[in-house]
A and B are shown apart, each in its own frame.
Chain A
Amino acid sequence: MTESPATKPVDGEACERVKNGLKPERNGLVRSLHRCHERQYKHHSLADEEEVHTASHYGSLYTQPFLESFEETPMLVAVLTYMGYGILTIFGYLRDFLRHWKIERCYIAREKEEQRDFVPLYQDFENFYTRNLYMRIRDNWNRPICSVPGAKMDLMERMSNDYNWTFEYTGRVVQEVINMGSYNYLGFAENTGPCADSVAKVTAEYGVGVASTRQETGNLDKHEEMEKLVAQFLGMESAMAFGMGFATNSMNIPALVGKGCLILSDELNHASLVLGARLSGSTIRVFKHNNMQSLEKLLREAIVHGQPRTHRPWKKILIVVEGIYSMEGSIVRLPEVIALKKRYRAYLYLDEAHSIGALGPRGRGVVDYFGLDPCDVDVLMGTFTKSFGAAGGYIAGKRELIEFLRSHSHSAVYATSMSPPVVEQIITSMKCIMGEDGTTIGRERVTQLAENTVYFRRRLRELGFIIYGNNDSPVVPLMLYMPAKIGAFGREMLKRNIGVVVVGFPATPIIESRARFCISAAHTTDMLDRALSVISEVGDLLQLKYSRHRKRPLAARPFDDSVYEDIDD
Chain B
Amino acid sequence: MNFKNLREYLAWLYFQYLLITGIYVLEPWEKSIFNSILFTAIAMVIYTSYVFVPIHVRLALEFFSGICGGQPESTVALMN
Contacts and interface: CB of A to CB of B under 8 A. Distances in A.
A513 B34 CA distance: 24
A137 interface: yes
B26 A91 contact: yes
A541 B22 contact: no
A261 to B, nearest CB: 46
Contacts of A94: 30
Contacts of B19: 482, 484-485, 488, 542-543
Chain A interface size, under 10 / 10 to 19 / 20 to 34 / 35 or more:
20 to 34
Nearest to A136: B25
A484 B1 contact: no
Contacts of B16: 543
Nearest to B21: A87
Chain B interface size, under 10 / 10 to 19 / 20 to 34 / 35 or more:
10 to 19
A436 interface: no
Contacts of A137: 25
Interface string A476-511: 000000111101100000000000000000000000
A356 B73 CA distance: 91
Given A91-B30, A163-B27, A541-B15, A85 B1 contact: no
B53 interface: no
A87 B24 contact: no
Interface string B1-34: 1000000000010011011111111110010001
Contact of B26 (A80, A136, A485, A541): A136
B33 to A, nearest CB: 8
Nearest to B30: A91
A85 B30 CA distance: 15
A85 B12 CA distance: 22
A488 B18 CA distance: 10
Contact of A483 (B15, B22, B30, B34): B22
Contacts of A487: 24-25
B4 to A, nearest CB: 15
A80 to B, nearest CB: 5
Contacts of B27: 163
A88 B26 CA distance: 8
Contacts of B15: 541
B18 to A, nearest CB: 7
A250 to B, nearest CB: 34
B25 A87 contact: no
Contact of B20 (A88, A163, A482): A482
A87 B1 contact: no
A84 B22 contact: yes
A83 B25 contact: no
Contacts of A484: 18-25
A540 interface: yes
Given A540-B1, A541-B15, A543-B16, A83 B21 contact: yes
Contact of A84 (B1, B12, B20, B30): B20
A339 B55 CA distance: 74
A84 B12 CA distance: 18
Nearest to B2: A540
Q: Name the residue in A83, A85, A87, A488 with the highest tally of chain B Cβ atoms < 10 Å from its Cβ.
A: A87
B1 A88 contact: no
Nearest to B19: A484
B35 to A, nearest CB: 12
A137 B27 CA distance: 11
Contacts of A488: 19, 24
Q: Name the residue in B12, B16, B24, B27 with the highest tally of chain A Cβ atoms < 10 Å from its Cβ.
A: B24
A91 B34 CA distance: 9
A88 B21 CA distance: 9
A88 B18 CA distance: 12
A542 B16 CA distance: 7
Nearest to A540: B1
Nearest to B38: A87
B24 A88 contact: no
Contacts of B24: 484, 487-488
Nearest to A86: B22
Contacts of B25: 88, 133, 136-137, 483-484, 487
B46 to A, nearest CB: 22
Contacts of A543: 16, 19
Contacts of B26: 88, 91, 136
Interface in A511-556: 540-543
Interface in A235-278: none
Contacts of A83: 20-22
Nearest to A88: B22
A487 B25 CA distance: 7
A133 B27 CA distance: 12
Interface in A47-103: 80, 83-85, 87-88, 91, 94
Contacts of A540: 1
Contacts of B18: 484
Nearest to A89: B22
Contacts of A163: 27
Interface in A101-157: 133, 136-137
Q: Name the residue in B12, B15, B22, B34 with the highest tally of chain A Cβ atoms < 10 Å from its Cβ.
A: B22
Nearest to B1: A540
18 contacts: A83-B21, A84-B22, A87-B21, A88-B25, A88-B26, A94-B30, A133-B25, A136-B26, A482-B22, A484-B18, A484-B20, A484-B22, A484-B24, A487-B25, A540-B1, A542-B19, A543-B16, A543-B19
Interface of B: 1, 12, 15-16, 18-27, 30, 34
User: Which 5 residue pairs spanning A and B have beta carbons closest together?
Assistant: A84-B22, A484-B24, A136-B25, A484-B22, A484-B19
Given A483-B22, A488-B19, 14 more contacts: A83-B22, A87-B21, A87-B22, A88-B25, A91-B26, A91-B34, A94-B30, A136-B25, A163-B27, A484-B18, A484-B19, A484-B21, A484-B23, A542-B19
